[in-house]
Amino acid sequence: RHYGPSSNFLLVQTLLDFKQETVGRKHILQNLRRPEFWSILPWQENLHNNPPPMLTFPEDDLLHDLINDYFAHSETYIPLLHRSTFEKSVAEDLHLRDAGFGQLVLAVCAVASRYGLDPRNMPEGTKSEHSLGWRWYSQISLNMSSFLEVPRLYDLQLCILMMMYLQASSISESSWIILGVAMRLAQAMGLHRRQPDQPRTIRRELWIRAFWVIIVYDTYVSMFLGRPRVTTMDDFDVELPMDCDQEFWDNATSEGDVLVQSPPDTRSRTTFWIHYIKLMEIAGLTHKLIYPIRRAAQSRVLGVDGVLSNRKAVMELDSALNAWVSSVPHHVQWDPKQADPILLLQSAMLYSSYHWVQVCVHKKFIPGPNQEAVLDGLPSLAICANAARSCIRIAEACKTPRVPPATLPSVFLSAIILLINFWRIKRSNTLLNSGTEMREVYKCFELLKPLEKR
């Protein structure tokens, strides 16, 4: 487990180091531990020794299809697992022997179920598409016994997949709670700290990727719900994921082998995720500067007060977004004519999220019904409306046959912004072709409708 510089445990270690240097005898901490404070006690045994759950898995053909669907539709955009080692473990029946890995397999099946219509993925007694995957998800449990031991990679990956599945359900609020659990597990393992002396093995890279998925979800969900983040940029300094596509991982023979970057002339598909992380860092800064709970703290950060702090924050964030756009490599820049379907959908997710962050920066300063402006000279509504239209164009360009789920939040927000814009113009008695103006809003409805069944 990880203990940081402020920890009393490290202070005790310093004390022991002083003593060792003075008396020349090394203490073995294990011999100093009193069992009544360091061991699982008899009345805690029932919590620690819960029998492994009896898990029911999909039939072999369905399991094969679900794993394929997961890596085709989810892993491409949210890199979390390593396909070769995952499939090797399934082929060796590890999911039948290890309940932790077994639950991870069920979580993969639950997430992947939404990409098809196989009724075997539904619970008995229902034909609702909303229930797809619930047959597998309902067997997963986070029990207290798993928190008593050092977390495994499977535990962290399981939390993330649970969160991903619940986000698209009617109980999506639960995903926010699981997000907090995932972050605490990651911090307990020290994943938030840079470890330059450790080689970048497959296993180390999987830990790093899991941590960054949590950071991305923490940023997005907290912004969406208007709640504090579990952690902020001040709380971690871990390395970014390595720009290495999985086909280059497959040159390794075990999780202990060291990875290398994708060749420089490769159109790496991991590049998208690295730049998405950088965009979410700007989103996190937006959350901190534009929506602080303690306004005085925000003013101290920026060195100005009141309205000036808001104006300076917007300028800083707009500048950061401009710099981010300029840094995006050519092969993942938005191009509706992109021939590679994966790069097309990756860039759609990247740029629709960019416009989503633009709106998050400015939406607070959209004038209300009886206001002319919140920040003088700042056309926040016009900026948001333009960003919303861009989101719609991106989603329309890549619906195959329906809009990618990753662009859903941006399309939803775009509809709200354009409706606000419509009613504000209508109240101002400006000449307006309402049919033309509302057509963009109806496009949002058309894009969202095919997704409502899932």
Of 328, 347, 329, 327, nearest in space to 337 by CA: 347
Q: What is the mean pLDDT of residues 103-130?
A: 92
pLDDT band per the 50, 70, 90 thresholds, residue 149? confident
Least confident piece of the model among 23-27, 40-44, 262-266, 362-366: 40-44
Q: What is the mean pLDDT of residues 111-126?
A: 91
| Residue 308 reports pLDDT greater than 80 | no
Q: How far is CA 196 from the centre of its chain?
A: 24
| Residue 47 reports pLDDT greater than 50 | no
Q: What is the mean pLDDT of residues 122-136?
A: 89
pLDDT of residue 364: 87
Q: Is the peptide bond before 401 cis (omega within 30 degrees of 0)?
A: yes
pLDDT of residue 6: 44
Q: What is the mean pLDDT of residues 154-169?
A: 93
pLDDT of residue 43: 47
- Per the listing, tokens 């202070």 go with 11
For the chain, how big is the Rg over CA atoms in Å? 25
- pTM for the model: 0.87
Say what percent of the chain tops pLDDT 90.
45
pLDDT digits (tens, 9 = 90+) for 309-365: 788 889 999 999 999 999 999 999 999 999 998 999 999 999 999 999 999 999 888
pLDDT digits (tens, 9 = 90+) for 242-301: 988 877 776 665 666 677 677 777 788 889 999 999 999 999 999 988 888 776 655 565
pLDDT digits (tens, 9 = 90+) for 223-248: 888 888 999 888 999 999 998 887 77
pLDDT of residue 137: 93
* Dist. CA 298–CA 305, nearest whole Å: 9
* Dist. CA 310–CA 290, nearest whole Å: 7
Choose from 9-18, 142-151, 408-417 the range with maximum mean pLDDT: 408-417
Q: What is the mean pLDDT of residues 171-183?
A: 89
pLDDT band per the 50, 70, 90 thresholds, residue 402? low
| Residue 215 reports pLDDT greater than 80 | yes
| Cβ pair 398, 404 in contact under 8 A | yes
349 contact partners, CB below 8 Å, separation of at least 6: 77, 272, 276, 404, 406, 407
| Cβ pair 137, 106 in contact under 8 A | yes
| Residue 163 reports pLDDT greater than 70 | yes
Q: Which two tokens stand for residue 318?
A: 């707009």
Q: How many CB atoms lie within 10 A of CB 141?
A: 11
DSSP, res 241: P
Q: What is the mean pLDDT of residues 33-47?
A: 57
| Cβ pair 255, 203 in contact under 8 A | yes
* Dist. CA 288–CA 307, nearest whole Å: 16
| Residue 7 reports pLDDT greater than 60 | no
Across the chain, what does the average pLDDT equal?
A: 83
pLDDT of residue 226: 87
Q: How many CB atoms lie within 10 A of CB 30?
A: 7
Q: Which residues pair with 201 in a beta bridge?
A: 258
What does the DSSP assignment read for 51-112? Answer: PPP------HHHHHHHHHHHHHHTTTTS----HHHHHHHHHTTHHHH-HHHHHHHHHHHHHH
| Residue 94 reports pLDDT greater than 90 | yes
pLDDT of residue 44: 47
pLDDT digits (tens, 9 = 90+) for 430-441: 666 666 668 999
The widest CA-to-CA distance across the chain, in whole angstroms, is 88
| Residue 408 reports pLDDT greater than 90 | no
